[in-house]
Each structure stands twice: as C-alpha cells, then as structure tokens.
Structure 1
Amino acid sequence: MKRISMFLGAMVFATLAWAEQSTVAPAPNGITIPEGYKDWRLIAVTQRPETNTLRAILGNDVAIAAARAGNTNPWPDGAVLAKVVVKQKNHPRYPTAQVPGEFVHAEFMIKDSAKFASTGGWGFARWLGEKLEPYGKDANFVQECVGCHTTVQQTDWVFTAPISLP
C-alpha cells in the first residue's frame, strides 16, 4: 500500500511540474483554466494502454467533499474535475513500473446544471501540450465530449470512480 501511495504522490507532483502559464487562452466555449487547479487533491488515477497515457484526476474542494461523502451521482453544482494526461514511460531503475512522461493535455469538467443543461449539466474544456493550446475550432467541440460521455449518463456523465480510502 505504501508503494501505491508513493506512486500516486509522485505521479501527481511530477505531472504538475510543468512551467506555470500566466496567460492561457480560454477554450472556444469560453471556459478558462480554473485558478489553482495544480493544488487540487487527487480523486483517482487511470491508465489508457491504447494511448500509452496515465491520467491524474484532481478535484476542487466541492468535488473532493462530494467524492469523500459518496455524493457523486449526481455530482453537486460547483464540482470541477481536472484530468491531467501524460505519456507513460518505464521507470529507469524499475523497468516494470510505469511513471509519468511528457505532458499531453489537461481537461476539465465543470458542473453547473443550469448553465450547461444542454451538455448533461457539465461544461467541458481541454488544453493541449506544454503551451496549453485550447482544443477545438469552435464551441461545438463539446459535442465530441458529450458523444463520448453519453455512455456514462447513468453515473452523471463521469467515467471516474473516486479512490475509496479506508
């Protein structure tokens, strides 16, 4: 268990070590990167073997409180989930261990049932690469997000299952 905790902590800190961005353009739908998200706490981790990526799912205080209380279906308004995605690579001294590599992108889901009613109550945004370039040519990029998340409508449009801590 200690090894898992050390891995999760190392993943989050290594993943968030990229340079601070002072002026990042908003997503095409007007969503901006939430202030202070790099200091949010860990909700879950995932691995996507087909893309060779690791993902740290972080939450703002509202999301963390909901996750700890088991109130995630539906998530409360004000919850914000951040998914920080990095390429995975083998640890140089422990080759079977997968560790964070190059930063790929950061995604956000913002719960506001009224404002984002047409997209399941969630606002979606993504920024690509170290330069945090907004994803999508126009605001319709969210249809791609909704199309994927439609498969998890029964869990309030969220794939992430928070880590259950004793």
Structure 2
Amino acid sequence: MKRSFFVLALALNTFPCHADPAAAPPAPNGITLPKDYQNWRLLGVSQRTENGTLRAILGNDKAIEAARSGQTHPWPDGAMLAKVAWKQKSHDKFATAVVPGEYVHTDLMVKDAAKYAATGGWGFARWLGDKFTPYGQDAQFAQECLGCHGAAKDADWVFTTPAKLP
C-alpha cells in the first residue's frame, strides 16, 4: 500500500496529459472542472481490480481541512473531491511495481447540500480521456453516479477513506 501511495503521488507531478484540462467543457449538469484541481492535495488512493485502474483522490482546501479534522460525516459544503484514474501497468524497470499507465478519466464531486439535494448533497461530474470529454447525455447522468455511490450512503456518499499520514 505504501508503495502504491508513493507511486501515485509521484505520478500526479510527472504524468503528462494530452489536453489542457482547463479547457474542458462543463459537464451536462453545468459543473466545470476547476482549473487548479491538479494542484490539490492527495486525500487517498485506490485500485479497482475489476477494471485494472489506479486512482488518486485529491481534495480542495475545504476537503483537506475536513479530512484532517475528521469532519467528513457529513463533508462540509464547498468540499470538492477529484478522482484521477489511470490504467495500471507494470513499471518498466521494476516489474513488481504497479504504476499509472494510460489516463482514463477525472471525476469530480462538489458538496452543496441545498443545490444538489436530489443527489445526496453532491454534484457529480466526469471527464473522459485525453480530450476531457464530459460524461453523460444530460444532467440526469448524476442519478447513475448516485446509484453507484449508494453503497457509501452512510459515509456521506463518499467511498474514499482519507489516508492517515504518519
């Protein structure tokens, strides 16, 4: 776990994207990808074994403050979480290490209990691939997100457990 955490943290600063995320169009529900999300701090990491992806979960200042103080049940309004996903691959010089490969997508969750009451108090968005193509045909795509996040309803709809730093 420690090795994966280090590798993902390093990748955030060195792994190139092919398009400018700041130019990403808004999601169908109007949520925009914050221009500075790549500078947010690391909250946690995850690996999805069923689809072979590694993910770095980043938080804006509000989310980091909430996580560090244990105030995530519920997360405060204004907290934003970005999940950056890559296909996993073996390191070319260290075969037992798993590292980020091809960029897959960036997800965003925006906490605003009143504005997003219909989706558990969270606004959801996703941008796919190197062109940062917004996911979903219309604003109703967020119901799909909520359906998946239903398994984490008791954690304010958030799967991420913030990593405790030593």
**AA of the residue aligned to 2:97:** A
Equivalent position of 1:52 in the other structure: 52
2:57/2:82 contact within 8 Å kept? yes
Equivalent position of 1:131 in the other structure: 131
2:22/2:34 contact within 8 Å kept? no
User: Displacement, 1:8?
Assistant: 3.6
Structure 1 gaps of 5+ residues are none
Alpha-carbon displacement from aligned partner over 1:123-158 (angstroms, at most 9, x marks no partner) = 000000000000001111011101001111100000
**Cα distance in 1, alignment partners of residues 61 and 73 from structure 2:** 17
Equivalent position of 1:152 in the other structure: 152
**AA of the residue aligned to 1:143:** Q
* Aligned Cα root-mean-square deviation (Å): 1.6
Equivalent position of 1:106 in the other structure: 106
1:55-134 alignment runs, 5 A limit = 55-134=55-134
1:41/1:64 contact within 8 Å kept? yes
1:90/1:98 contact within 8 Å kept? yes
Equivalent position of 1:140 in the other structure: 140
Alpha-carbon displacement from aligned partner over 1:15-69 (angstroms, at most 9, x marks no partner) = 4x31424422110011111120010000000000111100000000000001111
Equivalent position of 2:30 in the other structure: 30
- Is 1:18 aligned with 2:17? yes
Cα separation, partners in 2 of 1:152 and 1:102, compared to 1, 3 Å: same
When normalised by structure 2's length, the TM-score is: 0.94
* Matched residue SS, 1:139: coil
Structure 2 gaps of 5+ residues are none
2:8/2:99 contact within 8 Å kept? no
Cα separation, partners in 2 of 1:21 and 1:9, compared to 1, 3 Å: closer
Instruction: Report the identity percentage.
Output: 58
* Matched residue SS, 1:26: coil
1:11/1:56 contact within 8 Å kept? no
